[in-house]
Amino acid sequence: ILGIAYANRWVKKPRPEFVLDQALKGLSDQHRLYHYTPLGDHILLTPNGVIVLETVNLEGQFTYQAGKWKQKMSLSRAMRYIVEEKLGDPIARALGQAEAIASFLVENLPEGSRVPVQALVIFTHTLAIVKTDKAPIPVVIPEKLARKLPHPGVKLTPELYQLVRQQLDHLLPSTIH
């Protein structure tokens, strides 16, 4: 199963980091995208805070309704079911990563610093069809990502933005947008 997870991350196309880079290409230079950090696979620093981007690289039809995910099982998906990554609950994963990042920032920034941390799920596969009803966080496809980014509250002060950036830079280098 671990081999499948690595193959989905590093071999299966389209690779999530390339899809995210392309989808966020037009953002200002105040947006920094970090891939494969110890705190989350994809983290976006914005002028307003931090956004966790939980990616799902599966094809098929997915529905979120009444707090549950469902996937329409086609014959080809059924045949790949044993060897393919499972959907699980990407919303729960995104919220868990957001919580981890928020804790990391509280521990590593000056006391009293407030940095909003939001979460978002993006289905990166070109053959993914997603329908949601009352999802607690945005769930999107790449074409809608930039327009659906949460913009929590007030802009961070330049000093706080720089401190957050330094902390995230220590995790891993970023792709600058």
From the list 49, 15, 56, the residue with the least C-alpha distance to 32 is 49
pLDDT at 175: 56
User: What per-residue confidence (pLDDT) applies to 151?
Assistant: 78
What pLDDT score does 171 carry?
83
What pLDDT was estimated at residue 72? 81
Distance CA 110, CA 83 (A): 46
**Non-local CB neighbours of 118 within 8 Å, separated by 6+ positions:** 49, 50, 51, 52, 98, 137, 150, 152
Distance linking the first and last C-alpha atoms of the chain: 34
Residue ranges, the chain, pLDDT below 50: 1
How far is residue 177 CA from its own chain's centroid?
Answer: 16
Q: Are strands 49-56 and 60-65 parallel, antiparallel or unpaired?
A: unpaired
Q: Which residues of the chain form beta strands (DSSP E)?
A: 32-37, 40-46, 49-56, 60-65, 68-72, 117-123, 128-132, 139-140, 174-176
Cis peptide, bond prior to residue 110, ω within 30 of zero? no
Distance from C-alpha of 57 to C-alpha of 125, rounded to nearest angstrom: 5
Distance CA 82, CA 107 (A): 40
Q: Which amino acid is at 145?
A: L
SS3 26: coil
